[in-house]
């Protein structure tokens, strides 16, 4: 609503001075019964009212009331032009003034503005004939037939002009409502799509788009369900894997403990082996020393025997009788072990 008011205010800033200038020129040329002061005063009042409407629209106060005020001001300016000129062609200003509101508000507003334009046009022509033409008319029924013909033509033109935009606006509003429902998540909503014009083609394209969107969402939902099922399976597999990992971890811990124990045993065995090797080496050294000592003693004994044998031979040759006399002693002395120093 406020956009309609702002648009009318923007148009009125240039349309009002232009209309005032045209009326002053017509008055100066004698084509219109308009004094420059009257036209300038009316234009100034219209611009003041337009400024007030613009300020109210900027604050967002009473949107529907501002629309009605804007429509009233535009129709009043058109009626002023008809009043001052009395031309039948000036009735077209009603169509110009009402057309933007009809396109924005729909066919019902167009029919209302068409009727209001006819009534205001007849009133303005009656005032012009009464005040400026000085005709003996006491009521609107005394107006010439041409005035009523002009009013009838205005009404038919307004219906023809405002009817199509009104229907178009109604269809656009229906389409907008359908799109808002789709925006809120209702994928089953569809536009009529029965007309053969561009808007009907747009409605059918919208329906095809909604069908494709619904199909895509259904596919995505199905795939999401499958992914959810896979996720559940993966979660159960993960739990099994976690239990297996815990079991493997316990076995690994026990194996590590056993390995540490075996390592300790191996270390102790190594130490015992080293001690045994050292003891064996010591025993070998002792054995070798004892063997060397035995070899030395054997060599010394052999040498002693070799040294004693010649002496015994000489002694035997010197005293055979002594040897014969004491054979037992000699045998016993031979059999006695020799103690070497």
CA 281-283-289 angle, to 5 degrees, is 105
pLDDT at residue 325 is higher than 50? no
Encode pLDDT of 175-190 as tens digits: 888 888 888 877 778 8
Residue in the block written with tokens 């303005």: 124
Provide φ and ψ at 193, rounded to 5°.
65, 30
pLDDT at residue 338 is higher than 80? no
pLDDT at residue 20 is higher than 80? yes
The structure tokens listed for 92 are: 């077209």
Q: Which residues contact 165 (CB under 8 A, 6 or more apart)?
A: 99, 102, 103, 107, 110
- Asked if 165 contacts 103 with a C-beta cutoff of 8 angstroms, the reply is yes
Provide φ and ψ at 297, rounded to 5°.
-65, -40
| Class of residue 297 by CB neighbours under 10 A (exposed 0-12, middle 13-18, buried 19+) | exposed
Query: Domain limits of the chain?
Result: 2-186, 196-272
pTM reported for the whole predicted model: 0.53
For the chain, what is the radius of gyration of the CA atoms? Answer: 67
Mean pLDDT value of segment 191-209:
80
Encode pLDDT of 284-309 as tens digits: 888 888 888 888 877 887 777 777 76
Give dist(CA 226, CA 274) in Å, integer. Answer: 68
Confidence of residue 310 (pLDDT cuts 50, 70, 90): low
Encode pLDDT of 100-117 as tens digits: 777 677 677 777 888 888
Residue in the block written with tokens 């010649």: 310
User: Hey, CA dihedral for 57, 59, 64, 65, is it positive or negative?
Assistant: negative
pLDDT at residue 209 is higher than 50? yes
Provide φ and ψ at 54, rounded to 5°.
-65, -40
Q: Which residues contact 291 (CB under 8 A, 6 or more apart)?
A: none
């Amino acid at each position: 609503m406020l956009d309609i008011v702002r648009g009318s205010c923007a148009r009125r800033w240039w349309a009002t001075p232009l209309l005032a200038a045209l009326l002053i020129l017509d008055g100066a040329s004698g084509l219109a019964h308009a004094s420059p002061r009257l036209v300038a005063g009316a234009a100034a009042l219209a611009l003041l009212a337009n400024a007030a409407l613009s300020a109210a629209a900027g604050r967002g106060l009473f949107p529907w009331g501002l629309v009605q005020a804007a429509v009233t001001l535009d129709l009043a300016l058109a009626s002023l032009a008809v009043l001052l000129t009395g031309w039948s062609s000036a009735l077209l200003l009603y169509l110009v003034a009402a057309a933007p509101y009809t396109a924005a508000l729909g066919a019902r507003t167009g029919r209302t503005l068409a009727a209001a334009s006819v009534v205001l046009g007849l009133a303005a022509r009656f005032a012009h004939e009464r005040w400026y033409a000085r005709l003996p008319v006491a009521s609107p029924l005394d107006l010439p037939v041409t005035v009523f013909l002009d009013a009838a033509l205005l009404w038919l033109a307004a219906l023809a002009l405002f009817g199509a935009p009104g229907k178009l606006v109604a269809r656009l509003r229906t389409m907008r409502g359908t799109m808002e429902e789709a925006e809120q998540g209702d994928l089953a909503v569809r536009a009529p799509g029965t007309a053969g014009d561009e808007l009907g083609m747009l409605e059918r394209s919208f329906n095809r788009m909604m069908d494709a969107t619904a199909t895509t969402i259904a596919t995505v939902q199905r795939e999401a369900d499958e992914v959810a099922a896979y996720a559940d399976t993966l979660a159960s597999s993960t739990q099994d894997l976690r239990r297996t990992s815990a079991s493997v971890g316990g076995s690994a811990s026990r194996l590590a403990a056993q390995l540490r124990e075996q390592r300790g045993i191996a270390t102790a065995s190594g130490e015992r082996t080293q001690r045994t090797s050292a003891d064996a080496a010591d025993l070998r050294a002792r054995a070798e020393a004892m063997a060397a000592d035995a070899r030395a003693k054997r060599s010394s004994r052999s040498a002693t025997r070799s040294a004693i044998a010649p002496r015994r031979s000489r002694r035997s040759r010197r005293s055979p009788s002594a040897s014969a006399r004491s054979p037992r002693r000699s045998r016993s002395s031979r059999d006695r072990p020799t103690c070497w120093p």
